[in-house]
């Protein structure tokens, strides 16, 4: 399954605060409601999300390995999950 999501927001906060959020794999994971847990890797550009889908009788999480593939500091991060 492939899911592509792109979101754009205008926020009344300093750009440095936004960058601190989008560049941090931990904070990205915490913002996704179906991420039950996550593990980050050394270097801060990789993480494994443990996804918990609200499907009856499915009693496990699904690991999704995420990795930053492009960064244009301080305005853009592209990451993928497999």
Taking the C-alpha atoms of residue 61 and residue 63, their distance in angstroms, rounded to an integer, is 6
pLDDT at 47 over 80: yes
pLDDT in tens, 7-29: 777 889 998 898 888 888 888 88
Taking the C-alpha atoms of residue 16 and residue 42, their distance in angstroms, rounded to an integer, is 22
pLDDT at 48 over 90: yes
pTM of the model: 0.73
Taking the C-alpha atoms of residue 7 and residue 27, their distance in angstroms, rounded to an integer, is 16
Any idea which residue has 């995420």 for tokens?
Answer: 66
Any idea which residue has 């991420």 for tokens?
Answer: 35
Task: State residue 1's pLDDT score.
Answer: 66
Cβ proximity of 57 and 43 under 8 Å: no
């Amino acid at each position: 399954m492939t899911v592509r999501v792109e979101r754009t927001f205008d926020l009344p906060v300093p750009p440095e605060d936004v960058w601190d959020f989008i560049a941090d794999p931990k904070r990205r994971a915490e913002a996704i409601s179906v991420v039950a847990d996550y593990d980050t890797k050394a270097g801060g550009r990789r993480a494994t999300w443990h996804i918990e889908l609200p499907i009856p009788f499915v009693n496990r999480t699904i690991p999704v390995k995420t990795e930053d593939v492009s960064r244009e500091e301080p305005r853009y991060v592209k990451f993928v999950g497999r």
